[in-house]
Amino acid sequence: MNPDIQRKILEFETFVNDVLKEDLAQLEQKLNVKNADIAEFLELKATITTFKNNGLDKNGFKTQVDIGQNFFIEAQVSDASTILLDIGLGHYLELSIDDAVAVINVRVKLLEQQIKHFRKEIARTNAHIKLILLGIRELQGFDDKM
Amino acid sequence: MNSEDDTQKVQRLLLDKALTKGIQQNEKQCKIWTDYKKGHQNVAETLQIFQKDLYVNCMVPIGKRALMKGKLIHTNEILACLGDGYFAKYSASGAAALCERRIQRADEMLKKLSAERDLYETKMMMIKNNVFEDYVGREIVEHWNEDQIVEWKKKHREREREYHQKLAKVRQEKNKKIETEDLFNRLDQLEIEEELADEFNRLEDEKYELFNEDELEEGECYYESENSSESEEEEKEKDKNEEKGKEKEKKEEKGKEKEKEEEKGDSKEDYKEVPGINQLKVETHKVKKLVSFAEPEDLLKKEKENLIKEKEKSSKKVVDSEEDILRIEFNHSENKLVTKSDGNSIETPADIYRLFSKPKSILKRSPNDLNPEQAPIEYSTEEGEDDDDDENAVKPSAYETVVKDIKEKNTVEVIKEVLEKKEESKDTRPISKFKRDRQLRL
């Protein structure tokens, strides 16, 4: 086989293995993180709506708080009309429950967009990989129809 | 042999891998258990704190992303998870005890884990040092027949007999030698002792002969000399003046005596190694003292003179040594003292210290207390950079920054770099045919 072609094939292979597949792994990881985030926000939204529906925000409620290693102590929340929401980078913002729901909605929307973007990226990377593999096959002189 | 070596190598590699894996797992377990222990320690501490108050204000977590203001009530009522979804209600002290038990268990586990780690490491060491290298893979083979063994046994018996005989001979000879040598040595020793005893007796006899004349006075003198403190001697001088006449005679005699004694001393020196000579020496000293106290005044004077002379000499020496010392004399220059200088001019060494080595604060710098001279500059540069960043960030639309991930690297360049690297190491790392096929099938 032509040494030039062989060299080219090697380059393509390394590109697929060391660049594209690495990128793919990273993207998947990011996608997972975003999915987890969105799940958390949705859960929070559900909790808040249950608070509202049952009128707990005015009456207060009792709950069990984990103080580490699955040891629970009973806690009482007397005023559930405000909530401190994590707005990123370890900052918490005190919001009324209605505002919190609005913010959560925005965040969920944003996350959805990000997830969409990542999905697209992943698809693109996969396409690149496929394309290069096809190119390699052609270079090696195999028939297209296996 | 080659195949054997190869299999050995493979075996060793596998063992090595297994051991490293074991160590890694061990480390993981260690970490888990230490975390477990720390967690329980923390819980026990917090329980101690909560126990003191009726209620504790806290933020109640609602999910992972939100908190609510609340307070812990029933601080002496703890619901502890026993595992598998079962909970038990404990008092605070009971929960603390539970924590203690769990910590103890964690400690035990950690101990066991460390023991395991030790075992792994010793194994690794053994492999590295090839402790069993010489014995592994080699069987000990000896070629023997029954007949050969019988023959060998016969020969062996004969040889043993010979050996024992020789040994016995050697021992006998040794014993004989020792006996004869011992006897000779013993005889020599006895002879020497005898001679010494004779000498000793002879000396004592001589002494008696010499001292027999005017025994009384001699006794006195002897007594005085034994108490030979110089003050006493001075007191008794007057008494002695009366006896001087006699004493002169004695002196003559003692002079002779002295000579003889000295001779004896010389002769005795030959026998220094022998015990009992110390006594003799003491006696000779005594005799010498008898002679020396004849003119104690003169002696004292002489001694004093000597002392004085020595002192003078030493003082002279001191003076001489003092004269030898090099002396550096100096005067202060007439320049005026410059204690302080103004501004940034450097006139004295103190200025250098004042200008350059200012004390540094160990506190972290905050923008509020920056040096007035330096602060504005740094601030402006930082702001400028920030502005640049903002501009760069703003230019490619909000969608890019918010939705898309910010890319830190230019992929094209990375690809190039990777390819270059690969080209360099291409020859060393070819890809197997199977691998290539697999990739093609993807």
Of the candidates A16, A67, A77, which has its C-beta nearest B70's C-beta?
A77
- Scanning the structure block, which residue is given the tokens 């080209």? B423
**Residue B142 scores a pLDDT above 50:** yes
**Quick one: CA torsion of B2, B8, B14, B17, rounded to 10 degrees?**
-100
Closest-approach residue (CA) in chain A for B98: A71
Question: In terms of CA atoms, which chain B residue is nearest residue A97?
Answer: B68
Report chain A's C-alpha Rg in angstroms.
25
Q: Is residue B41 predicted with pLDDT exceeding 60?
A: yes
| Range name among A12-21, B25-34, B86-95, B227-236 with the lowest pLDDT average | B227-236
Chain B closest-CA separation from residue A55 CA (Å):
16
Token pair in block for residue A3 = 């040494």
Neighbours of B192 (CB within 10 A): 13
In this prediction the pTM is: 0.46
Which of B408 and A44 is assigned the larger pLDDT? Answer: A44
Q: Which helix (H) or strand (E) holds B60?
A: strand B56-62
Give residue-wise pLDDT tens across range B175-222. Answer: 888 778 888 888 999 999 999 999 989 888 877 666 654 444 444 444
Give, in order, the Cα–Cα distances in Å from B53 to each of A46, A107, B89, B93, B172: 34, 39, 19, 14, 97
Confidence of residue B330 (pLDDT cuts 50, 70, 90): confident
Give A83→chain B minimum CA distance, Å: 5
When pLDDT is averaged across residues B270-291 and rounded to a whole number, the result is 47
What is the pLDDT confidence band of residue B286, given thresholds at 50, 70 and 90? very low
A18 neighbourhood in chain B, CB within 8 Å: 418, 422
pLDDT in the model for residue B83:
84
pLDDT in tens, A23-77: 999 999 999 999 999 999 999 999 889 888 887 777 888 888 888 888 898 898 8
Residue B152, CA atoms < 13 Å, CB-side half-sphere: 6
**The predicted structure's pLDDT at residue A5:** 84
pLDDT at B365 over 80: no
Asked if pLDDT for residue B325 goes beyond 70, the answer is: yes
Q: To 5 degrees, how large is the angle CA B143–CA B149–CA B154? A: 145
Residue A61 phi, psi (nearest 5) = -155, 170
The residue-averaged pLDDT of B322-334 equals 73
Among candidate residues B421, B92, B290, the one with its CA nearest the CA of residue A73: B92
Q: What is the pLDDT of residue B114?
A: 94
Indicate the pLDDT class of residue A1, thresholds 50, 70 and 90.
low
CA–CA–CA angle B379, B383, B385 (5° rounding)? 120
Instruction: Specify the DSSP class assigned to residue B369.
Output: G
- B39, B75, B418: residue with CB nearest A14: B418
What interhelical angle do B2-52 and B92-129 show, nearest 10? 160
| Selection from A17, A138, A10, A66 nearest residue B423 by Cα | A10
Q: Higher confidence at residue B423 or residue B187? A: B187
Query: Of B338 and B22, which is predicted with more confidence?
Result: B22
Instruction: Give which of B261, B175, B246 is closest to B210, Cα–Cα.
Output: B261
Tokens of A62: 């009792």
pLDDT score recorded for residue A42: 93
pLDDT at B348: 74
Give the pLDDT confidence score for residue B401 in this predicted structure: 65
Q: Above 50 in pLDDT, residue B224? A: no
pLDDT at A103 over 70: yes
- Residue ranges per domain, chain A? 3-139
Give how far Cα B345 sits from Cα of B222, B342, B350, B353, B354, Å.
Answer: 92, 7, 11, 12, 11
Q: Is the pLDDT of residue B75 over 70?
A: yes
Nearest-CA residue of chain B relative to A101? Answer: B66
Kindly list the residues from chain B whose CB atom is less than 8 angstroms away from the CB atom of residue A75.
58, 60, 70-73
Architecture of domain A3-139: Orthogonal Bundle (1.10)
Question: What is the distance of C-alpha B123 from the center of its chain?
Answer: 30
- Look at A15 and B419 and tell me if their CB atoms are within 8 Å: yes
* Helix locations, B212-295, DSSP H: 215-226, 230-235, 237-242, 244-269, 277-292
More confident residue, B1 or B125: B125
Chain B environment of A84 (Cβ under 8 Å): 59, 66-69
Q: Tell me the backbone φ, ψ of residue B23, rounded to 5 degrees.
A: -65, -40
Average pLDDT, whole number, for chain B?
A: 71
Tell me the nearest-neighbour CA distance from A16 into chain B, angstroms. Answer: 9
Instruction: Tell me if B62 and A74 make a contact (CB, 8 A cut-off).
Output: no
**Which of the four pLDDT bands, split at 50, 70 and 90, describes residue B127?**
confident
Residue B248 has pLDDT above 70, yes or no: no
Phi and psi (nearest 5°) for B334?
A: -90, 5
Closest of B75, B106, B107 to residue B93, by C-alpha: B75
* The pLDDT of residue B214: 47
pLDDT greater than 80 at residue A107:
yes
